[in-house]
Structure formats: C-alpha cells, structure tokens
Amino acid sequence: MTKPKTPPAGAATSHIGAGGELHQTASAPEARMTTNFGVPISDHQNSLKAGARGPSLLEDFVLREKIQHFDHERIPERIVHARGSAAHGFFELTESLEKYTRAKILTEVGVKTELFARFSTVAGGAGSVDTPRDVRGFAVKFYTKEGNWDLVGNNIPVFFIQDAMKFPDLVHAVKMEADRGYPQAASAHDTFWDFIGLMPESMHMIMWAMSDRTIPRSLRMMEGFGVNTFRLLNDKDEATFVKFHWRPKLGTQSTCWDEAVKIAGADPDYHRRDLFESIDSGAFPEWEFGVQLLSQAEADALAFDILDATKLIPEELVPIKVIGRMVLNRNVDNFFAETEQAAFLPTNMPPGIDASEDPLLQGRLFSYQDTQLSRLGSVNFHQLPINRAKGCPFQNLQRDGHMQMDIPVGRANYEPNSLGLVGEPGGPREDPKGGFRTAQVMSDGPKVRLRAETFADHYSHARLFYASQTTIEQAHMASALVFELSKCSFEHVRLRILGNLQNIDTDLAQRVADGLAMGLPAKAEAAVKPVDMDASPALRIVGKYPETLNGRAVGILVTDGADGAVINAVKKAALAEGASVKIIAPKVGGVTLKDGKMLPADGQLAGTPSVLFDAVALVLSEAGCAELLKESAATDFVSNAFVHLKAIGFTSEAQPLLDKANVEPDAGIVDLAAGADGFIPPARTRQWDREPKVRMLA
Ligand code: HDD
C-alpha cells in the first residue's frame, strides 16, 4: 500500500482565471494528483461544463470517478461491535507453554509478534458514543509465524447465552427496538429486559453488565478475556483446556455512571481520543497476558461445566499464569483501511491452539467468516493489508473471486499436480506434521437438540459475582438495575427480573424493588437450586487497581490574575507521576497571570468540563473567582468533580466557588497553600468515602 504524499504548497495548480487565461505551474510526477488509473489531473476545483455557467458534461470522467467513489465510501457496519477503536502493537512471550502447546507464539520466549487490537462497544452503531453502559469487545489479531491468531474476546469473562442459536435474539433484543429505531447504544429498554427475564442463563452476565466494568474509564484500563474455553495441543497432540486473560498494567478502572452519561455529551469520542493520544504521546498501553490451564480430569472435577460460557473459573481455584505482555505502540494511519476493514475470526488459530465444544464458540466458528463476506463484500477479504498474514507466507490454490488483489502465478491451480507451482515442483502441499490439527475428542452421542444438564445452574455464578463485590460496587449494581428497569415501561418485565434477582441475593432484589417502588414478587423458579461458592475477591475493581496518577488526567482551572507558581507546582507534581495535565480557562486564548505573563489554555471552560479529568485543581484569583460565580459551567465543573468523587485542589481565592458548588471538606478537598504535594495522593484514586454523602444509592 502506498501512502499519498502531500504535494508541496503550490506544486500542482492550474485554473482558469477570471479573464479566461490559463494559469499553470508544472509539478513533479510524484507530487501530482491523478485519477485512480494514474492520469494526471489538471483541475481539481471545477467540473467540466459547457461554458463557465453551462451544464456539467457526462464526459467528465474525473468528476464521475470522484463522485462514484465517494458514493460507495461506506460499507455495512458490523451488526454488533460497530463502534470500535484500534491500534497496532506487539506481543512478547515471557514464559513458554511448551509442555502444553506447539504454537510457536506461546513457546518462543522473548520473540515479539506483531499484533492489531480493536476495542469496541457492542450495541451502538459506528457513530455512537464511547461511554454507554455496555460490554466492551477486546479483539486481538496476532500475526504469528504460523498464520494469524485472532483472540476475539470481551472485557467480561462470561456471556449472556449458552448456545449460539440464541445470539441473533439477544442482539435483536438489545439493539434499538425494531419498530421505533431507538434507543441507540443502550440496554435500558423494554426489549432487552424482556428477553433477559425470559433467559435466566443470562443472570451471571447481567451482574457483570450492571457492575462498573461496563463503564470503563479508559480502553487502557480494561481487563480482557477470551471468554470461551479453548484447547492447547502439544507435539504429542495431548490437549489441555485453556482460558485466556488480559490484565491492564494501569489496573481496571471505571467511571461513575453519572459521569459516563455526561462524558457522552462532552466528548463522544472519549475512549477513542484517549487511546490515540496516549499512544501518540508515547504512553503505550500495556497488558499482561495470562492463562488458566486445566487437564480434562481437573475440568471434570469442577462443580460446573467449562463448556458453558456463562460460567467462569475463579482464579482462586485455578490461578492465572502470566506468560506474556501486549504493548500498543502505533496508531492506525487510516481508520477505514485498518480499524474498519479489520476482520476478526475465532477460526483463525495457529497449530497448537484449538476450539472446544462450547456451543457458543461452535456457532462463532461459522458466524465471523460469514459476516465478513457481507461486510467486506468479497471472499478475498483476507488479502486486505490489515487482515493479511504477515508473519508467514500464505499460499494455496484458492483463486479468483471478487477483488482478487494478488496475481497468482503458475499453470496448475489444482492439487495434486506435477507441473510445478510457486517455484516448487508440485506447488504447496499439506504438512501433516507441522500443519493445524484438531484435538481428537470422542464424540459418539445421538444427534440431538438439547442443552446439557451440566448447563442448568443459572444462578450460582451470579451469586458468586455479587457476593464477591465490595459494598460500594454492590450499591452501584443495585443503582444500575434501578436505572435500567426504570426505563422499562412494562411492569411484568420488571417483575420478572426481580423474581430472577431473588435467586441471586434477596437483599439486592429488595434494594432494586425499593428503588422501583415495587413489591417483591415470588422467586423465579430455578432449574437447579443455586449453591454458595467461595467468594472471589479477584472479581472486584475497588481496592484492586493501583493507586497511581499514571495514565490519569488532571485539569487545572485558572483565571486572570492566578498564581503561576501554584499552577506550575500542581502541573509538575502531576506530570512527575505520569498524569496528563490540561489548563482550562474561561477563554481558550488563555489568561494573564498575577505576574503579567500569558498562560495559554488547552480548553475553554464550557467545552472542557471536569468529567474529562480524574482530578482537578482550582487556581483562581479573587476577581477571577467572582466572575466564575456568574458562570454555571464553573459551578458544574466543581460540583461534578465533587459528586464524581474526585480530588479537588484549590487556592483560598476559590473558596466562594467551592461553597456555591456545595463542596464539603473531606480528605480529597485539598488546600494548595501548603504546596501541591497534598493534592497528589487523593488524586490517585476516587474518594469512595464521599459517595454516601452525595448520592442516594439504591
Ligand atoms: Fe461476536 C463481532 C466478541 C459471541 C457473532 N464479537 C465480535 C467482536 C467481538 C466479539 C470483540 C468485534 C470484533 C471486531 O473488533 O471486529 N462475540 C464476542 C464474544 C462472544 C461473542 C467474546 C462470546 C463468547 N459473536 C458471538 C456469537 C456470535 C457472534 C455467539 C454468533 C453466533 N460477533 C459476531 C459477528 C461479529 C462479531 C456477527 C460482528 C462483526 C464481526 O463479527 O466481525 O459475526
């Protein structure tokens, strides 16, 4: 692929002047604009007309080619995960899994493998916002030496349904409603909760979906999971079950719900921008890569079925072995060519990795290849630069088709042949030893449409997840359920969910019922009586992420007459901890500081609200503060920072604004008179203790 070069200013100009005279400057061939077939274009401003004021001519192939290309610039968006952001990077193995697999990517320690990672929301369209309550896709394409490996996961380790047969129903239910075309990118509506209430197998995933995991602070601060159980196969074709995990170096961090809602308006591209800017600035996002490994006997000994994607294996039961890392270090050059055309296929597995019989995964093995055909329009989509195997050659005898981008050589396009192909006698042949082999799994049952008995327990894992959360997170889940169900207009839909919740936790069910001002219905009938599992603290977020300013954003609100020394001290201390810092002022041109110096602003107050930062400092002059008291954007800036549990540093001149915003003193409200140091520790995290004072949690 060639990158278009920007012609030097004035290199290729040609236009008809007002008096009809032709102005021209010749340009070098590599600088000039051409048609798609290389014909140099003399005028890119005006269409060909019969006279300066006459009709345009059909003969104008330059205009027609340009408009026609434009007319076809969009392709169908993904039916799910349409909204996504991506970047390039590498995977580096730190510990070999040689005993379990012959996949080179998992056995060659120290080798760096190129990769492409795409993160997405699920329900919204390609132009929807970044911060709805939604599961996030976490898809990684490794360009291995033995073909592409696509690990197409989510930021949640379980799924809503057990069998691929129900996937179209799930997606129809969550996306905008069929008759009215709304809501966009939201699960808070009747059809979703109607379906969920009728599908008790979804209850575990619902607990995750209602947790803060679905309102991530940043794509760089999300865990990732392969979700389905896969197999590793070693040289002797011995199989081991495996679950794949990604753990962000910055820890798993979330926004507050009210904050996420406001970010959607303030910066719909919040996550996309954050990913792009962090990579652009050299702060490369990084994840640890881990595996949970289980023999058949270990899997059989578990109280649940590892082929059921609504169940997780607590890491307290089977520890996660960290074996590598992923670093994203290069932004895409072209969003469409790379992020949009990237086609992930769970069937892309190198030798040594294999699928399991998980009936959800089995359906996925068909669906992705199929969807790419309608999305990308050709069986040759694997030849697009972003999808092409890069770590190794690809050669076979498949030929022709729409948009064949290569020129395959040779006379014989069949196998076996004895005419020679690709320079080798007989052409490419299968490799029984090194090629992909499937695990030899016994399968001799009758053909049936049945759900295994071992899939029947729909509540124990939901109980495990809820019971493992901190009280803060449990309260957020109850509030999220109240919010979502309050958007449902059918009482029977709400009641059915409440009945299901009773099988998870009676206190949770009661809190949600109270939040809806409804009575509690009877427990939903459970196919299998739920059991209590040992809590898994690893499933929490609060108290688990590292308290650090690394990767976080600090906003400093300033006015004319502010003290530059205080601003610099806050900025220096925050930057030293790895934060990004922005100056916000009433006007984007900046402010004149106390010492008369100009300080340019990075953002104007109304367009840069505090929801875009993790901690804020108010460095104001007395007169500046008096002006801000007349501006609701300033009061909102402060009161939102307070109710979103952020640290607020302030100079004494800002006190009237704090008072107007109803800010009450606590450990996160820091007077900067003593220097910036006191502001840094609370800025590293949220002030969870403040929450009960500012929010009526359900
Ligand atoms: Fe899927 C896209 C993840 C179940 C069918 N899925 C898609 C993407 C992710 C996932 C991350 C976006 C890839 C990208 O960035 O292009 N999907 C999952 C996970 C699942 C899951 C973790 C449960 C374990 N998916 C699932 C099922 C089916 C599909 C059961 C169908 C039987 N998924 C698709 C799809 C998509 C897709 C329709 C839409 C766009 C695409 O494939 O390329 O084929």
> Is the CB of residue 239 below 6 angstroms from any atom belonging to ligand 1?
no
- ipTM of this complex prediction, to 2 decimal places: 0.99
Contact partners, residue 526, CB within 8 Å, separation at least 6: 200, 458, 459, 503
Q: Catalytic: which of 81, 204, 271, 458?
A: 81
| Residue 348 Ramachandran class (φ > 0 left, ψ -120 to 50 alpha, else beta) | beta
φ, ψ dihedrals at 22, nearest 5°: -95, 120
pLDDT of residue 180: 97
Residue pair 551/218 in contact by the 8 Å Cβ criterion: yes
Strands 136-144 and 14-16: unpaired
Å from CA of 365 to ligand 1 middle: 10
Å from CA of 220 to ligand 1 middle: 21
Q: Which of 562, 571, 569, 565 is nearest to 591 (CA)?
A: 562
Per-residue pLDDT band for 290 (boundaries 50, 70, 90) equals very high
> Is the CB of residue 164 below 6 angstroms from any atom belonging to ligand 1?
yes
Q: In this predicted model, what pLDDT tens digit does every residue of 95-139 receive, in sequence order? A: 999 999 999 999 999 999 999 999 999 999 999 999 999 999 999
Å from CA of 444 to ligand 1 middle: 29
> Is the CB of residue 171 below 6 angstroms from any atom belonging to ligand 1?
no
Listed range (19-33, 131-145, 663-677) with the worst mean pLDDT: 19-33
> Is the CB of residue 157 below 6 angstroms from any atom belonging to ligand 1?
no
H-type helices in 139-269, by residue range? 167-174, 190-198, 203-209, 257-266
- pTM for this prediction: 0.95
Q: Is the dihedral of CA 342, 347, 351, 353 positive or negative?
A: positive
Å from CA of 80 to ligand 1 middle: 7
Closest ligand 1 atom to Cα of 227: 24
Q: Catalytic: which of 15, 36, 46, 154?
A: 154
Q: What integer is the mean pLDDT of 506-522?
A: 97
Domains present along the chain, CATH in parentheses: 1-73 (4.10.91.20), 84-181+216-383 (2.40.180.10), 553-694 (3.40.50.880)
> Is the CB of residue 136 below 6 angstroms from any atom belonging to ligand 1?
no
Percentage of the chain beyond pLDDT 90 is: 90
pLDDT of residue 22: 55
Listed range (13-17, 142-146, 248-252, 416-420) with the worst mean pLDDT: 13-17
Among this protein's residues, is 382 annotated catalytic?
Answer: no
Q: Which of 142, 202, 178, 139 is nearest to 368 (CA)?
A: 139
Reply yes or no on whether the pLDDT at 2 is more than 60.
Answer: no
Q: Which of 284, 269, 214 is nearest to 550 (CA)?
A: 284
Q: What integer is the mean pLDDT of 265-282?
A: 98
> Is the CB of residue 89 below 6 angstroms from any atom belonging to ligand 1?
no
Cis peptide before 200 (omega within 30 of 0): no
Reply yes or no on whether the pLDDT at 23 is more than 80.
Answer: no
Instruction: Give the integer Cα–Cα distance in Å for 694 and 217.
Output: 20
Closest ligand 1 atom to Cα of 360: 30
Closest ligand 1 atom to Cα of 80: 39
Q: In this predicted model, what pLDDT tens digit does every residue of 293-324 receive, in sequence order? A: 999 999 999 999 999 999 999 999 999 999 99
Kindly state the tokens that stand for 262: 């406001």
Q: What integer is the mean pLDDT of 353-373?
A: 97
Among this protein's residues, is 154 annotated catalytic?
Answer: yes
Q: In this predicted model, what pLDDT tens digit does every residue of 61-81 receive, in sequence order? A: 999 999 999 999 999 999 999
Per-residue pLDDT band for 9 (boundaries 50, 70, 90) equals very low
Question: What's the per-residue H, E or C state across 360-384?
Answer: HHHHHHHHHHHHHHHHHCCCCHHHC
Reply yes or no on whether the pLDDT at 233 is more than 80.
Answer: yes
> Is the CB of residue 347 below 6 angstroms from any atom belonging to ligand 1?
no
Instruction: Pick from 77, 79, 81 the residue to mutate for probing ligand 1's pocket: most ligand atoms within 8 Å of its CB.
Output: 81
626 vs 695, higher pLDDT: 626
Å from CA of 105 to ligand 1 middle: 23
Instruction: Pick from 213, 246, 344, 382 the residue to mutate for probing ligand 1's pocket: most ligand atoms within 8 Å of its CB.
Output: 344
> Is the CB of residue 344 below 6 angstroms from any atom belonging to ligand 1?
yes
> Is the CB of residue 367 below 6 angstroms from any atom belonging to ligand 1?
yes
Angle between helices 471-486 and 491-501 (to 10 degrees): 160
Å from CA of 345 to ligand 1 middle: 9
> Is the CB of residue 226 below 6 angstroms from any atom belonging to ligand 1?
no
